Structure 1
Amino acid sequence: MKSFFQLLILFTIFLFPSLLSATTLSVAERLELNQQHVADMLAHPEVLVTASGLGYQEITAGTGARPSELSSVQVYYHGRLLTGQTFDKQLAPDEPLEFILHQVISGWQEGLQLMREGGTARLHIPPELAYGAHGVPGVPGVPPFSFLVFDIELIRVSGFRRD
C-alpha cells in the first residue's frame, strides 16, 4: 500500500503538472500555436486554405452528392485541439451524428460543402470559424481562441444537395 501512495505522490509532483501544461495554454501561447499551424497548413500543398482561413485536406474522395447549407448530413467525426487533446467525437462509434448543416459552426458548414458523400477529410478550423474568443467551457471543453482539427467522414447527404 505504501508503494501506491509513493507512486501517487510522484505522479502528482512530477507527471501531472507536465500533462496539465501540455493541454492548458495561455491565450498568448494558444495564439502563437495557431499562427504556427496556419504556417504549416500553407506549407503543405495537400491542404487547401480557403479565403476564410479554413484548412481543408481531403483524405478520401467521395463520389456522392455535395451537401448544401440546408442539407441534412450524417457524419462520423473526431475533434481535437492543436495540443492533440480530443474534445469531441460522436458518442457511439457505430452511430453517426445527424444534423442540418446550417446548425453547426461556420467551419463545418464551409468544410462539409467541399466534401462529397462517402468522402473523408480533415478540417483545420480557425477560432473565428469555430467558438472564437468565448470557447466552450466544460470538460474537456474548448478554450478561447482555439484552432480545431476535425477528421470527418461524410456518410449521407439528404434534403437539398449540390451535385
Structure 2
Amino acid sequence: MKKYILLSLLFTQCLLLFTSCDETEEVNKYADWRNRNEAFIDSLKRVYDAKTDPELIQIIPYAEKNYPIYAKKLKTVTSGETPLYTDSVTAFYRGMLINEAVFGAATTPRYYTKLYQSLDVFDKNFEGEEPNAFESPTTFFVNGVVAGWTEVLQRMKVGERWEIYIPWQQGYGSSVSAAPAYSTLIFDLNLVSIIKK
C-alpha cells in the first residue's frame, strides 16, 4: 500500500513540475521583447545595406524618416493604380510576430511565406497560403490603419502582394493592442482594389 501511495505522490510531483515548466515558458515568451524586435529590424537593415538580398526593399516613411519599413514583393504588377492617402482599399492580409525559432540565429532573416505556420499569427482574413474563393478581402481607409500600412499601401499597385516588416514605431507602438507592445509587425499584404470617393 505504501508503495502505491509513494508512486502516486511521485506521479503528482512530476505532473506539477511539467505544468510549472509550461507556465514558465509562456511567461518568458515575450522576455526582452523590445530588444529582440529592434534587433530583428536591425538585421533587416544590415541585409539591405549589404545588398545580400536584392529583393529586399527599404521604404523611408514620408512622415517618420528615422524608422524605415522593409518589404519584399511577392507579386509585382508593372502598371496600374496606387491608392492615395484618402482612398479606401480592399486587401487580404496575415499579420504575424517575429519568432526566434525561425529568425533567431540566422544572419540573414528568412522570409516567412513558406514558414508562416511557425510564426505567431495575431490577425488574418484568409487561411492557407493563398486566399480562396470563399474568403473576402477587408475594406479600410488607407489613413485609418497603422502608419506602416499607410506608408506601404501608397506605394503598392492593385494586384500586388508584398511581405512587409514594420518596426514597432510604425505599428502599434509601445502600447498593447492587437499585438504585444514593441512588436515588429510582419504582414503578408495583398492589395485587391481601390475604392474612390
Give the TM bin, normalised by the shorter chain: 0.7 to 0.9
How far does residue 90 in structure 1 lie from its aligned partner after superposition? Answer: 2.1
Does residue 1:69 correspond to 2:85, yes or no? yes
Q: Does 1:78 align with 2:94?
A: yes
User: C-alpha displacement at 1:110, in angstroms?
Assistant: 1.0
Residues 6 and 159 of structure 1: CA distance in aligned 2, closer, same or farther (over 3 Å)? farther
Aligned to 2:193: 156
More strand by share: 1
Offset of residue 153 of structure 1? 0.9
Distance 1:6 1:73, change over 3 A: farther
Q: Does 1:109 align with 2:125?
A: no
> What is the RMSD of the two structures over their aligned residues, measured on CA atoms?
2.8
Distance across 2 between alignment mates of 1:157 and 1:7: 58
2-structure distance, mates of 1:73, 1:25: 36
* Matched position secondary structure for 2:188: strand
Q: Unpaired segments of 5 or more residues in structure 1?
A: none
- Structure 1 distance, partners of 2:92, 2:14, is 38
**Residues 1:135 and 1:39: Cα distance change in structure 2 (over 3 Å):** farther
**Mean Cα deviation higher: 11-20 or 144-153:** 11-20
Residues 6-155 of structure 1 mapped to structure 2, 5 A cutoff = 9=16, 11-18=18-25, 20-21=27-28, 23-26=29-32, 27-42=34-49, 43-52=52-61, 53-62=68-77, 63-83=79-99, 84-90=119-125, 94-136=135-177, 141-155=178-192
Calculate percent identity across the aligned residue pairs. 25
TM-score, with structure 1 as normaliser:
0.77
Aligned pair count reads: 152
Identify unmatched segments of 5+ residues in structure 2: 1-7, 62-67, 100-118
Q: Is the 8 A contact 1:135 1:146 kept in 2?
A: no
Q: Deviations over 1:5-26 (max 9, x none)?
A: 89965652444533553x3132
TM-score, normalising length from structure 2?
0.65
Q: Does the 8 Å contact 1:72/1:158 carry over to 2?
A: yes
- Residue identity opposite 1:24 in structure 2: Y
Aligned partners of 2:172, 2:186: CA distance in 1, in Å?
A: 13
Instruction: Indicate how the Cα distance of structure 1 residues 39 and 68 shifts in structure 2: closer, same or farther if over 3 A, else same.
Output: same
